[in-house]
Amino acid sequence: MTAFPPGFFDRADPGDDAGFYGPPRLVQHIDDGAIAAVGAFYDEVGVTGDVLDLMSSWVSHLRTRPRRLTVLGMNAAELDANPMADVRVVHDLNADPVLPFPDGSFDTALCTVSIDYLTQPVAVCAEVGRVLRPGGIFALTFSNRCFPTKAIRGWLGADDRGRAAIVATYLHDAGVFDEPVAEYREAPGDPVIAVHATRRADPPS
């Protein structure tokens, strides 16, 4: 397990996230070019089947509607406005990193421009591995935009390459994924960095 520096997961605003995310924000958090690049990436890695959109909002950045989409986020009004969602779950992962789903519930999981807000990211990634079926993909995308008071200090102190390495470390330390793949995606405006990993097959019993 990686030993992160002291204070790495601290935030300028350690207050209750439920209060901060209480007002609905029905806006885009990255520009049109970045949105297109994110959607293309999710298509390329195969975000399909039963999909979990982690830390979701009113849009899931998918070009193709999956068979069944479960969105988990902090704001009920935003999740209700998501036109692709089949199941909507309000859940604060910083308060409780345990995902409220049975083992092996999903074929794919994604997290768009939100991984920087997690204070227990390795535990959350391990939970994603638990609810993914063997061979399932966990795909994450992010840019250089954020709510700086809610992003962890380690994230704010890193550049794009460093942030890709941070996310890859989370996935490695979760202990359930094959080697993560990180890449910079071409976009005309906001930068887009993408990381994905495959849930390892369960060992034979």
What's the average model confidence in pLDDT over 25-35?
72
Q: Is the pLDDT of residue 130 over 90?
A: yes
Gyration radius from the chain CA atoms: 16
pLDDT tens by residue, 37-64: 999 999 999 999 999 999 999 999 999 8
The residue extents of the domains of the chain are 17-198
Beta-carbon neighbour count of residue 19 at 10 Å? 9
Q: Is the pLDDT of residue 19 over 90?
A: no
Q: Domain 17-198 - what CATH class?
A: alpha beta
pLDDT of residue 29: 63
Question: H or E stretch including 22?
Answer: none
CA nearest to 107, candidates 132, 88, 87, 143: 132
More confident residue, 190 or 114: 114
Summary mean pLDDT of the chain: 92
Cα distance between residue 177 and residue 156, in whole Å = 26
pLDDT of residue 205: 43
pLDDT of residue 204: 46
